Structure 1
Amino acid sequence: MDGAAVNTLRLADLTPGKSAVVTAISGAGRVASRLMEMGFVPGTIVEVLRRAPFGGPVQYRVHGCSVSMRSAEASCVSVETDSLQNRTARRASSQLELAAG
């Protein structure tokens, strides 16, 4: 990646305003299936929109949709960040917002 720092972490560890690419889904079969049904599949760009106070749900943007989930479920999603992917995610997000309205 031409010197770009790659950082692999859990989706639950990302802070609002950050984006990443899903690399893997773990957890019990039912949880993993539900996450994939919601659009959290490897290769997908995810952006953290906001965190509810006191450990409440976190709101994410995935495939142009807003999705909220608890930290326990978000911990089952492995993501990878680097500066190039973050620029790409912001650009794609902006294009989706322009197209939506």
Structure 2
Amino acid sequence: MELTVTNNANKALKQVGNDKMVQLSFDKGSCDIVNTIYEILVIPRRTVSPIEKTITVNNIDFLFDESFEEAYDHQLVIDYVGGFFVFKNKNQIFNNRVGIKFV
């Protein structure tokens, strides 16, 4: 997966320390990916399962599974505008009001 994190999003994620990772996932049962992602989760670092992948961008590990990767056509840009994360790729904006939750 090609993952880009803009400067604004990187600043908003500065609280993610070395002991954490950002989990990207959505409800596979929904047919509308635009409305299935409401928040990204910052979780304690853990072992990655065989069905998951990680990408490190700007010293932040992003965790996702194959379904997430396919839904975004293997390309995702994470931006931060107006207090929310924006998920988009070269073709469209998927969601422009994604929050963040630390667990």
More helix by share: 1
Larger Rg: 1
More strand by share: 2
TM-score (norm 2): 0.29
TM-score (norm 1): 0.30
